[in-house]
Amino acid sequence: MFTFQLLTGFMMNIWHYLKEKRVKMAKKFEALRAKMSPESRFLADKKAQGMLAEMPLKELRQARGLSQKKLAEALHIQQPAIAKMEKRTDMYISTLRSHIEAMGGKLEILASFPDGTVQINNFSDLG
């Protein structure tokens, strides 16, 4: 059975060996991407765009480079309220709008149907 000390020592030995042999462990993303087939690059880009198109509020805030504290300051509320808001699955549209606007965005509500998408504008006068 491995102990933490044995495991740590083992990992340090591997690190020293790789350093001594001058093995590069990290590669630049662009170098890896250049080796991909055009089809693989296309599929990776499509998946990345899909991931960026949908994300929870917490990930959106992080992607925008904002801390909970900075967002709370912009909204004139306490930081714990941001943490609570990011965990909610239901909130007022006006609350969501102010949250998005504090991040520098604009809230748009879309309804998707099999025959097309419609932007709902009832809420444009709120706030």
Q: CA dist 123 to 97, 103, 105, Å? A: 10, 19, 15
* Per-residue tokens: 24: 């590069």
Least confident residue range of 26-30, 32-36, 92-96, 110-114: 26-30
Phi and psi at residue 23, in whole multiples of 5°? -80, 125
* Per-residue tokens: 48: 């990345």
The better pLDDT of the pair 107, 15 is held by 107
SS3 48: helix
The better pLDDT of the pair 71, 51 is held by 71
Strand partners, 113: 116
Beta-carbon contacts of residue 60 (< 8 Å; ≥ 6 apart): 103
List, for residues 13-54, the tens digit of each pLDDT value. Answer: 666 666 666 655 566 777 887 888 888 888 888 887 776 667
Secondary-structure breakdown of the chain: helix, strand, coil percentages, each rounded to the nearest 5? 55, 10, 35
